[in-house]
Amino acid sequence: MGEALNQALRLYPDLSNRVSACCRIVAFRNRLIHGYAFVSDEVVWGVLETNLPTLRREVQSLLDEPQRNP
């Protein structure tokens, strides 16, 4: 999700106003990919339990909007 959001923000910078903590999501992805040996399972699970439901609602809201041509 972090990489997809990073790419989407390059094309649509206004997404930063529509997705909570988008910079933190990208940063967390980078930490997982590049520093995975230093991230505890408890931290990852905590992020999933705490933040994933909000992210899911926000993404679903974006997907439910009518398509706009760029």
Instruction: Give domain limits for the chain.
Output: 2-64
Give me the tens of pLDDT residue by residue for the chain, a chain 70 residues long: 899 999 999 999 999 999 999 999 999 999 999 988 888 999 999 999 999 999 999 999 999 998 866 5
The answer for residues whose C-beta is within 8 angstroms of residue 17's C-beta and 6 or more apart is none
Residue 36 has what pLDDT?
81
Residue 67 has what pLDDT?
80
Q: CA triplet 22, 41, 2: central angle to 5 degrees? A: 20
Residue 37 has what pLDDT?
87
Tell me the whole-structure pTM to 2 decimals.
0.78
- Distance, in Å, from the CA atom of 20 to the CA atom of 58, rounded to the nearest integer, reads 8
Residue 50 has what pLDDT?
94
